[in-house]
């Protein structure tokens, strides 16, 4: 999760069973206020941690001031499978966790591309995804936008390697880090396709300068 971890944020420790949704899911309201067309290529997901590990399969419920209760399932990796709507968040709801009151909990936000793992990608789509990520981060990230690094490319985790194909038929190898190969639009002018030797396990943002 190299590209994602660099933009991850954790809430302060939670000492009770309940916490404001705005504290658990930082920036979600600002993200949802953006027009869907401006955030169609990126997504936010949130995970709950306990003692530094995923809080797997615990029960969580969104409780609104009206008393309405909406289950928020958490999967085996500690991630919420469902997020509140903007209308629900504007009512300043609480998230109640079915855990001991003395649990020390935290949450983390995962900012990622909507790109699905595949063996080949259009460079135009990769470039548009990177550009959109930086615009969204600037508009919805608040203070975090000043501290978080700028997204420079796309990381293909565990893809082994790959090639960049140019419009004249030339090819060039993709650079790699330990997590896998990555593509930065600014490094490959005239590129049209990215072909990977293996389908990546995850597609993430890359924020490195080389």
Which of 23, 80, 19 has the alpha carbon at shortest distance from 46? 80
C-alpha 151/C-alpha 207 separation (Å) is 4
More confident residue, 13 or 36: 36
Q: Give the pTM.
A: 0.84
pLDDT score of 51: 83
CA angle 192, 152, 7 (to 5 degrees): 135
pLDDT tens digit sequence for 93-134:
999 998 887 788 888 888 999 999 999 999 999 999 999 999
First to last CA, the chain: 17
pLDDT score of 13: 45
Residues forming beta bridges with residue 193, ordered by sequence position: 122, 165
Contact of 48 with 123, CB cutoff 8 Å: no
pLDDT score of 11: 45
pLDDT tens digit sequence for 131-156:
999 999 888 876 555 556 789 999 99
pLDDT score of 208: 86
Reply yes or no on whether the pLDDT at 2 is more than 50. Answer: no
pLDDT tens digit sequence for 17-75:
789 999 999 889 999 999 999 999 999 999 998 888 888 889 999 999 999 999 999 99
C-alpha 155/C-alpha 197 separation (Å) is 14
């Amino acid at each position: 999760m190299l590209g994602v971890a660099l933009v991850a944020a954790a809430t302060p420790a939670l000492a009770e069973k309940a916490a404001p949704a705005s504290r658990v899911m930082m920036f979600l309201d600002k993200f949802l206020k953006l027009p869907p067309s401006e955030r169609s290529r990126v997504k936010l997901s949130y995970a709950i941690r306990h003692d530094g590990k995923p809080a797997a399969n615990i029960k969580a419920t969104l409780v609104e001031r009206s008393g309405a209760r909406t289950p928020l399932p958490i999967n085996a990796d500690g991630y919420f499978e469902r997020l509140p709507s903007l209308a629900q968040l504007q009512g300043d709801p609480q998230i109640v966790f079915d855990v001991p009151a003395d649990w020390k909990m935290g949450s983390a936000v995962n900012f990622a591309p909507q790109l699905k793992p595949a063996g080949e990608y259009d460079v135009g789509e990769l470039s548009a995804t990177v550009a959109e990520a930086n615009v969204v981060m600037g508009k919805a990230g608040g203070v975090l936008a000043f501290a978080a690094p700028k997204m420079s490319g796309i990381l293909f985790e565990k893809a082994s390697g790959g090639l960049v194909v140019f419009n004249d038929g030339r090819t060039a190898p993709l650079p790699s880090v330990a997590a896998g190969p990555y593509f930065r639009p600014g490094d490959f002018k005239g590129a049209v396709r990215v072909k990977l030797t293996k389908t990546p396990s995850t597609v993430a943002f890359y924020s490195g300068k080389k």
